[in-house]
Chains A and B, each alone.
Chain A
Amino acid sequence: MRSKYIIIGGSAGSFQAITKILSELPKNYNIPIFLCLHRLKHVRTGFVEALSIKSKLPIIEPKDKEMIKNGRIYLAPANYHMYFELGNYFSLSTEESVNHSRPSIDLSFLSAAQVFKNNLIGIILSGANRDGALGMKEVKDYGGITIAQDPEECQVKTMTTAAIKATTIDHVFIVDEIINYMKNLQ
């Protein structure tokens, strides 16, 4: 089996879901996970630390051209867009915000979809805008698996409902089901 990659997008109301997911993944979880989360522009530091408290896996803000490694969780750095390149490495960009967002979930998901194709699982969580909906469509169109957090469970459901409208979602899951799904991928 070819190696899998998981990309997770979230905004308002996703922090709790993310920390829960990270806290339940085992120490030996070896599928790389990319987090693309909206956060305040001027809150540059402290986010990795906050996410790391509950996580058994290392959380890293990747540098430009850094290689992707198994068993790591990568967080899109504040104020950059995060892309994936053929050859299994990251590249970053400071081009203008998309939908008022940098990092843009759509751009990261699109880039991941093009590179990882049917080895990619795209997960969209709670959020107050539509960023990520187009990205989820790209994940689907390139043959990946799409998962949306159940809007009923989301603190803010704009983002997941937009994604559900934009494309075929393979699974609408509550967070516990997302965690189970992720664990069973190994």
Chain B
Amino acid sequence: MPLTQEDILLFISVLKSISNYDFTEYSIKSFTRRIEKILIDNKLDIEALINKVKKDPVFLEQIVKDITVNTTELFRDPKTWHVIKYRVMPKFEDKPFINIWHCGCSTGQEVYSMMILLNELGMLERSKIYATDINTDVMDVAKAGRYVYRFNIDYLENFDQVIRQNPFNFEEYKDVPYERYFQIDKVKDTISMNPFLLNRVIYKKHDLVKQSNIFDFKFDIIFCRNVLIYFNYELQNKIFGMFHENLNNLGYLVLGIHESILGQQAQKYNKKGLVYSKKII
């Protein structure tokens, strides 16, 4: 039986009353889709699901993790990475420290992509990398830096496009070996990030719905890609305001390639191609 909007709203209000998790401002379509999948995977109906989360806190945590898991990949959307490489990073050439926040880092591919890029640009040593997510399971994957090779094989092409090639100069080709950054084991079916990358990241659990910046400093670059698509317009706007407050002057916000800042907060940012820079107001 298809879920009704009432079912979903009831489930959200139950979660809110028995836990710290507030999905009130989630985009109802994707939320419903997640719940439908959870019901099928757990062979439950909505009533049974509600009863079970009420009684079983461990199950509740698991359900929240299932709702908040997002897929990502190495150098997702190479065009965005070209903008970061050629338009954004040159602005930080002379800055002694660069603070970077990967907000909603999921399984970490974006974090490693950025570190690889920073290292190629000679900027990794002076960069501080912070990564947060509401879902500690996906962050554990990020911390381990180990991925299934066959799911990621397609994305090595992205590495080539961003790290080896120059889209503005087809004659330029840097033969950067993958082994500099990760080891591929086809027998074990793994891609494992090299230890010098693993140790550079500070991971923290963070709930973007409820919490502002949990670090006591501001950032030069905030990544928040394909996270806000799960939130409604009002919550998106609140978060764009929070990011603005927590960006340094000349700081950049990087969103997913099909996300944009709509409404009032848009005037706080300059849209520069695929990224946004902080407007000083």
Contact = CB atoms under 8 A, between A and B. Distances in A.
Interface string B55-87: 000000000000000111000111100000000
B157 A64 contact: no
Contacts, number: 66
Interface stretch (B127-135, B138-146, B227-235): B227-235
A62 B30 CA distance: 16
Nearest to B69: A95
B260 A63 contact: yes
Contacts of B257: 77
A93 B258 contact: no
Q: Is the interface of A mostly helix, strand, loop or mixed?
A: loop
Interface stretch (A2-10, A14-22, A30-38, A39-47): A39-47
B45 interface: no
Interface in A66-97: 66, 77, 79-80, 83-85, 91-96
Interface string B13-48: 000000000000001111001100000000000000
A93 B262 contact: no
Contact of A95 (B28, B70, B262): B70
A107 interface: yes
A66 to B, nearest CB: 8
A65 interface: yes
Contacts of A42: 154, 157-158
B29 A85 contact: yes
A92 B33 contact: no
Nearest to A67: B262
A83 B30 contact: yes
Nearest to A96: B71
A42 B256 CA distance: 16
Contact of A93 (B229, B233, B260): B229
Interface residues of A, number: 24
A92 B79 contact: no
B258 A95 contact: no
B125 interface: no
Interface in B67-126: 70-72, 76-79
A91 B27 contact: yes
Contacts of B256: 64, 92, 94
A63 B71 contact: no
A170 to B, nearest CB: 22
Contacts of A41: 154
B40 to A, nearest CB: 12
Contacts of B71: 94-96
B34 A95 contact: yes
Contacts of B27: 83, 85, 91
Contacts of B154: 41-42
Interface of A: 41-42, 44-45, 61-66, 77, 79-80, 83-85, 91-96, 107, 111
Closest 6 CB pairs of A and B: A83-B29, A64-B229, A94-B226, A93-B30, A63-B260, A77-B258
